[in-house]
Every structure is written in C-alpha cells, then in structure tokens.
Amino acid sequence: MLDILVYLYESFRMAELAPDRDALERRLFAAGFEEADIQAALDWHANLADSATHARLALAYDRHYAPEELERLNDACRSELAYLVGAKVLDPESREWVISGLMTLAGEDIEPDHVRWMTLIVLWRRGVIEHFTHLEDMLLNHEPGRLH
C-alpha cells in the first residue's frame, strides 16, 4: 500500500489535481500495482481526505500503544513518531492517521523510513503542508535527532 501512496504523492504533488478514482485505478493498474492493493490504498486515501477533525485529539500528545501496534511498530518507529510530534511536524490527529496507515501495511517490517514517508503522505493529503519539498528534504534526509 505504501508504494501506491508514494506513487500518488510523487505523481500529484497537488492533491486536488489528481484524477478521479476510476482514472486513478486504471493508471495504478497500468503501472503494475495489484487490484486489491489499489482498492485498499485508495479507500484509505479517501477516508483520510474525508475525515472530520476531532477536537479532543488536538490535546492528545501522549500516546499509549495497543498491543498489536507495539508488535508492528518497533522502538525506532515509535521514537520517530514521538520525535515528529515533539518537533511539531505532526499534530496528534495526523499522528493517528500515520499510525493507521502504517498498521495497514501488510507483510513487511515497518521501519522509520516508512514512518517518514507515511508522515509526508498524511500531511500532503490533509493539506497541512504548503512547502512539501522543504519538508520532504527535512524528513527524508535528516539524521536522527536533527530536524532543524
């Protein structure tokens, strides 16, 4: 799923310029992605775009992980998430979307790079970032502990 989301991010830097879902499905299928993966990625992507903001989440900076999240998200991933929230790159609600996206990744070990890519995708789709090239460079080329 992450490969599809990264493909969408790289292909449509301005989310509103993406074609309708049917055209996206055809384009993704032609690019070699599996139909089930396309459906899952586009469903998650649509839910993210259509979600309402939850006021209570704005205050939820501390995060306790469910057992299945602890199993999938290793210490390095959880540290990366905490760091991104602490650096105010992610607000708590965006963090929840990042975790949601990461938990849908099937059959692969989740690494901090996955966290950073999912962060970019969530912020891009939610329209939170205006200058994504700068944020992309900071997130994908940073050394641990240095994001400024």
**For the chain, what is the domain count?**
1
Q: According to the model, what pLDDT value does residue 72 have?
A: 93
Residue 80 lies inside a defined structural domain of this protein = yes
Mean pLDDT score across all residues of the chain: 80
User: In whole angstroms, what is the distance from residue 54 CA to residue 68 CA?
Assistant: 23
Residue 65 lies inside a defined structural domain of this protein = yes
Residue 145 lies inside a defined structural domain of this protein = no
Domain that holds residue 78: 2-140
Residues 104-127, mean pLDDT to the nearest whole number: 86
Residue 45 lies inside a defined structural domain of this protein = yes
The pTM of the full predicted model, rounded to 2 decimals, is: 0.77
Q: What percent of the chain has pLDDT over 90?
A: 27
Residue 147 lies inside a defined structural domain of this protein = no
Q: Which of 50-54, 107-111, 135-139, 141-145 has the highest mean pLDDT?
A: 107-111
Residue 47 lies inside a defined structural domain of this protein = yes
Whether residue 59 has pLDDT greater than 60: no
User: In whole angstroms, what is the distance from residue 135 CA to residue 145 CA?
Assistant: 15
